[in-house]
Structures are given as structure tokens and as C-alpha cells.
Structure 1
Amino acid sequence: MTFGDFYRRYEADVKPKVRENTWQSKVWVIEKKILPYFKDLVMRDITPRDVLTWQNEMRKMESKDGNNYKGTYLRKMQAEFSAIFNHAVKYYELPKNPAVIAGPLGQHNADEMLFWTKDEYMRFIPTMANKTYSYIAFEMFYWCGVRMGELLALTPADFDFDRNNVSITKSYQRIKGEDVITKPKTKKSVRVIKMPEMVSMEMQDFINNVFSHSYRNNFCIS
């Protein structure tokens, strides 16, 4: 069986078990970066040397901005590639995973993330004063720690202003050009966040005076 044929079997086995956006992120990497190199090769004939050659090609490739791919993106390629072989080893009696033997590609940790200090944020937020949606979005990001997809999926029913709480139970995704509301990425992502009273008052005012007149069901989805 060729790698391309086995990928379709892998898709049939794995796709029903994962979120749609998770599968689409796999598809992008596999179909753009892996299948062009391996689709016509027989699974059992792919060697660690073949994988090393592919890894070196990926290291030389450039993104749209003209820079080489980041180490974390290279690592994702390797992870998706290795996952297909692991599936074949576990369920279809492939003797070994050549991607494991070839060794890692990319780096484990992303570049250091930078965060605003409170002083930096307080200098920034007045610049959003005339952009109502942006202002309230940044307030929720900074003070409540919500993610973009979580914010976009919020509805007025998710807020309890008597307790200054907001319930995070869903996430917005853009999948194949369609607006889709899904469950959060992990079980731990389902949570109730205590909003600072100031933010709670701002959000209540926003919902009553802006959101309620926008004919929207979710925060930023028409």
C-alpha cells in the first residue's frame, strides 16, 4: 500500500475522533508538506534516509515572508508525519516508524511570548476608545484571559452580571469559509471567569447599548 493510499485509511480512522478544525489543521500540513514527497512510495519501503532527505528539504523551505519555517512549525510537520506511521504500526502491523528513527525536526518550545505589563496596557487601551468593539475585546483579553475564538462565540446569555461572571463553553472557528461554533479545545477550557467589576459594567453597557442593536447572535458573527 502506498503512503497516499494509507493516508485515506488514516483519515477514515482518525477524522471522526477529532474536532473538525483540528482535522483541518492536520490536512493542511499533510497534503501540502508531506504527501507531495511520499504519496507514491510504498509504506513499508520508506526508510529513515527518505525521512532525513525530506526533513532537510523542509529546513530549506521558506514561508511567504521569505524566512525559513519556524522550528515549531517544522516540529508540527514531523509530528503529523510520525502520527501516520504510528497509526500504521499500532493498527496495521507496520514493523517500524522510520520518522522516529530519523530523529526530530524543528524545536520543542515556541519563541518566548511577550506580555504587556499593566502600565503598558493602561497606556494602550485609551487608543481604542473610539473603536467600541476593539475596546471591549481588548478589555476581555487582558483582564479575563479569554481567547479570540472564545470571545467571538460569546452571547449575552453567557454573562451573569449579578455575580460578574462569564461562562466559557464554546469557541468560534472559521472552517472552509463557514462560521462554526464548536466546543472549546480541551475540557479544562470550559470554565467560569470572574470579571473585574469595571469590565463587567463595561460589558453590560456594551450589550445593552451596542450589541443588542447589531442584529448579531454572537459577539462578532453576523
Structure 2
Amino acid sequence: MAKTRTLHVYSYEKDGSTLYYVTFYCKQWDGTNKKIKKMGFTRQADAARYEQDYRDRLAGSPAMTFAALCDRFLDDYRHHVRESTYLTTRNLLVTYLFPAFGDKTLTELTPVMIREWQNRFISSRHYQPTTLSKIHASLVITLNYACKYFGLAKNPATIAGGMGSQRPAHDMQYWTREQFARFILSGLKPEYIAMFSTLFWTGCRSGECLALTAGDIDLEQGIMGINKTMTKTEHGYIVGPPKTAHSRRKVSLPRPLVMILADWIRRTDARSNDRLFTRDRTTYAAALKQHAQQVGLSAIRLHDLRHSHASMLINLGTPPKVYKNAWAMRRYK
């Protein structure tokens, strides 16, 4: 018969030896009371310490499931990042991480478990290195949140190491000035000429270009102000602050681009707060691909026109300090 030694700790006989077990009720992270029982201690103090350690861990909630952690993390994360960043991270968690780890408690997640999961992803060869890197980064920041706020001792994803690469496996795509000239004379509509010329000659991001208004263009001074961007949210596309504070800048416009934008503003009769380019990003990307093929050029993305601008400046021998402002980048490789 079990004998009480201290609160919640009891002794029992087994094979002629006196052993100890501890049993207690403890409120879980989800509010329910759970009965905990652990047997086989050779010392009374070890059994009592087990209960204390268990309660200490639960106070930080490392016993919650990964799915529950993600709910808490995403609810907090959305208040600290751009909505597009939040949506991308949420999509990665729901699509790739919930199925693998959703029902696991944080204490069950080990570096070995995560490493084996990574190896399955890598060996499947269904994902680009950049995609693998983003999936792993989402797991790391989620578990970092658990380490900081919910008592997880170490981040098993960090210990496991990364997968994939932050840089695309293919070379950066770009057009030369000569190739862009062939493209722009391929029979494009005036709107597309204005859009693609702005991307190529200023190096602005596609979201920044989509958010441009007539008031952002100073035709007399040949200056374009970039102070906002177009991003995709749960409620569609919205205009909001630029990617970073450093992204707010003024860019000098070459004379041909001033003339192109002046013509487009005149055609649309755009007022100060009217957006110059009102189609969605997909439509512009399709036109870029279609007309590139018509003149025998390799298809590139809208963002690659930004690469083309940088390549042009570098080939012209432009000092990095000069084009750093136009590109709104802090580092150059």
C-alpha cells in the first residue's frame, strides 16, 4: 500500500525495494486540469523535484502544441510587420509546418526530428532552394518566439541548421540598354511603355511603381518621389508605406522618361492623387513576357527590370554611393 511521504509524493514497494512516485493535478496551457503521475524514483527528493520542474516548464507553456504556438505567434506577429510579410509567413506555416508539427508539443520537437523533416523536403526535389530557406526561416522565428515568451529552453530548428539558400540558384536576369530598346519598340501600348520605362530607368520596385501618382512626378525638375508602395493583403491590393524607411527617396529622371511620363499623364488626364498605373501586377508581367518573346528576348520578371537598371549603372562605372540612393539598398554585392 502506498504511503504518503510529502505532499503529492508516495512510496511503494517493488522487488523488495522502496521506490517513490509523484501524482498531482496541473492546469495546462489550454485551461484544462490534467492529472500527472510519474513513478520509479529511487529518492523522495527526486520525485518532488519532478513536480516542481514540471510546473516551472508549464508556466512558460513549452507543453503547448506547435499549432497552438503558431496561433499565438501569428496573432502577435501581424502587429509588428507589413501585412504582406504576415500573409507570406502565415501561408508557409499553414502549408508546410502545420502538417508536419501541428500536433507535436514544443517539448517533443527535437533537432533530429526537424533534420529528418528537412531531409524529406530536400530529397523530394519539389522545392526551389529559396523556398526551402523561407520555410526554415518561418520555423526558426516561430520557435524563437516560444523561446522568448513561453519558456522553450533552446530552439531545435536553429540547432538542426538551415536548408536551401536565400539566393536563387540561377544567375540574375537582366536586359542591356540595347535589349530594352528593342523591347520598348515592340508595339506596346502607351501605358506599358510608361510602366516598363519607369521600372528600367529608375530601378524602382514594381510595387513602388504601381503606387505612383501624378503628384509624385515633378516634370519640370525631372524628379520622381517614392514614398509608398502597392502590396497585396487579405482584402486585395492596397497602397501603404514603402518597404523600409530608407525606401523613401527622390530619383532623378532621364529626359526621355520625363517625356514618356508627361505624355502618359496627358493621355490619362491624371490629377495629383491619381495613380498612373492601375492594372494589377499580373497583367503587366504577362505583357512583359509576351512582347519579349515577340522580339526574341529572354523572358524576365518585372523585378528583373530593377536588376537591369543596376547592371546598366554598374557598366557605366557609376560609383555605388550614387546609385545606392536610387536603388534604396543598404548593401551591394
Q: Structure 1-normalised TM-score? A: 0.90
Partner of 1:112: 171
Q: Structure 1 regions of 5+ residues with no counterpart?
A: 63-67
- Where do 1:34-183 residues align within 5 Å? 34-61=97-124, 68-110=126-168, 111-127=170-186, 129-183=187-241
CA distance in structure 2 between the partners assigned to 1:34 and 1:220 by the alignment = 37
Residue 9 of structure 1 corresponds to 72
CA distance in 2, matches of 1:177, 1:133: 26
Structure number with the higher strand fraction is: 2
Aligned partner (choices 81, 88, 93) of residue 30 of structure 1: 93
Task: Give the drift of 1:173.
Answer: 1.6
Aligned length: 214
Give the conservation status (yes or no) of the 8 Å contact 2:214–2:270: no
**3-state SS of 1:95 partner:** coil
Q: TM-score, normalised by structure 2?
A: 0.61
Residue by residue over 1:91-144, the C-alpha shift from the partner in whole angstroms, topping out at 9 and shown as x without a partner, is: 2221111111111110232232122111111222101x4411111111101111
Q: Which structure: larger Rg?
A: 2
Cα 1:113–1:73 shift into 2, 3 Å: same
SS of 2:277's equivalent? coil
Range with bigger deviation, 5-14 or 15-24 = 5-14
CA deviation after TM superposition for structure 1 residue 35, in Å:
0.8
Amino acid in structure 2 at the alignment position of 1:206: W
Report deviation, 1:40: 0.6
| Structure 1 segments of 4+ aligned residues over 6 angstroms from their partners | none
**3-state SS of paired residue (2:127):** coil
More displaced 10-residue stretch of structure 1: 163-172 or 110-119: 110-119
CA RMSD of aligned residues (A): 1.8
Task: For 2:106, give the aligned amino acid.
Answer: M
Distance 1:213 1:184, change over 3 A: closer
For 1:172, what is the secondary structure of its paired residue? strand
SS at match of 1:173: strand
Higher helix share: 1
